[in-house]
């Protein structure tokens, strides 16, 4: 069991949830405010995506800049964690030629272009999705090849930004370990075990345990499940020695039929952690544990 727990809050994500939750953070101000509220509730890390005004996912640097400026100028401390997943979507075309036309939802850019906002704004953490994935029950895939991953990891290392290596199935974790073995990741390596996303690993105790056992002894890991499995997987992560992620990116409800806020989900996770006899780490304690570089 982990007795000193880092809570991360993924405040909005990039999924098709803007029309499913009446108060999902969409604007930079809403995303920044949600991050600050989550930090006040006990989150040490705010995991940030940005969105267009209509709620669609975005890679707009100006939106990231506004979010970062608002959080950094507030009186609330929180570790910033920017996604780098945007720009890896490929929708296979229908018909006999899957490349012509490319699906309308394709958003593919090169590995370094996915890091432009990270290079400009230097959050303490950014994500590194450690493999490709069939994303849901459609022709959508997320693409991240070994060459792309090494390129991105090297750049993150040069920038002094800690990768949160996201693993949606065991092969991703296997390659994350390879990156660490090859020296692309500075210690301690930080992993996020992502469960319940079709078609990665399911949100089950056995899946989380199997993946957690792949993390090297010097590694630090966090885990989450989506939807109704969010809080059970939070408790399971603590029992297995890991840390916790919650937030509206992964789950929209406080309980059946009741929409949640990010702060409420953090408060609920914090209660679970503390009722188990563990304590939560502050942002500064998290920086020390993960050996983060604070650029601002």
Encoded tokens for 62: 């100006």
Report the pLDDT averaged over residues 108-123: 96
* Inter-residue contact 245 to 8 (CB < 8 Å): yes
Mean pLDDT for all residues in the chain:
96
pLDDT digits (tens, 9 = 90+) for 35-71: 999 999 999 999 999 999 999 999 999 999 999 999 9
Encoded tokens for 258: 């009741």
Domains and CATH numbers, the chain: 4-290 (3.20.20.70)
pLDDT digits (tens, 9 = 90+) for 277-295: 999 999 999 999 999 998 8
* pLDDT band at 101; cut points 50, 70, 90: low
pLDDT at 89: 93
Residue 99 has pLDDT above 90, yes or no: no
Contacts of 141 (CB under 8 A, 6+ apart): 89, 90, 91, 92, 132, 133, 134, 135
pLDDT digits (tens, 9 = 90+) for 125-135: 999 999 999 98
DSSP H or E run through 280 = strand 279-280
Burial 218-252 (b: 16+ CB within 10 A, else e): ebbbbbbbbeebbbebbebbbebebbbbbbbbbbb
pLDDT digits (tens, 9 = 90+) for 234-265: 999 999 999 999 999 999 999 999 999 999 99
The DSSP secondary-structure symbol of 229 reads G
pTM of the model: 0.97
The tally of CA atoms less than 13 A away on the side-chain side of residue 278 is: 26
pLDDT digits (tens, 9 = 90+) for 159-211: 999 999 999 999 999 999 999 999 999 999 999 999 999 999 999 999 999 99
pLDDT at 169: 97
Q: Specify the higher pLDDT residue, 173 or 103.
A: 173
Report the pLDDT averaged over residues 137-150: 95
């Amino acid at each position: 069991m982990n007795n000193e727990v880092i809570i991360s809050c993924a405040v909005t994500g990039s999924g098709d949830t803007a029309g499913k939750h009446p108060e999902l953070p969409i604007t930079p101000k809403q995303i920044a405010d949600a991050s600050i509220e989550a930090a006040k509730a006990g989150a040490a890390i705010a995991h940030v995506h940005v969105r267009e005004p209509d709620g669609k996912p975005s890679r707009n640097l100006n939106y990231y800049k506004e979010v970062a400026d608002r959080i950094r100028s507030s009186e609330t401390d929180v570790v910033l964690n920017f996604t780098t997943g945007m720009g890896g979507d490929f929708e296979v075309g229908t018909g006999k030629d899957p490349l012509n036309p490319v699906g309308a939802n394709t958003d593919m850019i090169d590995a370094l272009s996915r890091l432009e906002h990270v290079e400009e704004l230097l959050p303490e953490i950014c994500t590194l999705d450690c493999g490709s994935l069939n994303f849901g029950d459609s022709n959508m895939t997320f693409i991240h090849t070994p060459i792309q991953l090494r390129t991105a990891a090297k750049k993150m290392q040069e920038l002094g930004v800690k990768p949160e290596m996201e693993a949606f199935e065991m092969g991703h974790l296997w390659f994350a370990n390879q990156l660490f073995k090859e020296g692309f990741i500075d210690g301690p390596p930080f992993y996020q075990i992502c469960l319940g996303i079709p078609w990665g690993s399911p949100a089950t105790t056995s899946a989380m345990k199997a993946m957690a056992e792949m993390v090297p002894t010097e590694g630090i890991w966090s885990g989450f499940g989506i939807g109704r499995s969010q809080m059970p997987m939070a408790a399971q992560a603590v029992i297995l020695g890991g840390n916790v992620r919650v937030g509206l990116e992964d789950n929209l409800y406080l309980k059946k039929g009741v929409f949640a806020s990010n702060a409420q989900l953090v408060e609920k996770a914090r209660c679970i952690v503390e009722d188990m006899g563990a304590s939560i780490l502050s942002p500064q304690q998290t920086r020390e544990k993960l050996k983060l570089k604070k650029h601002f």
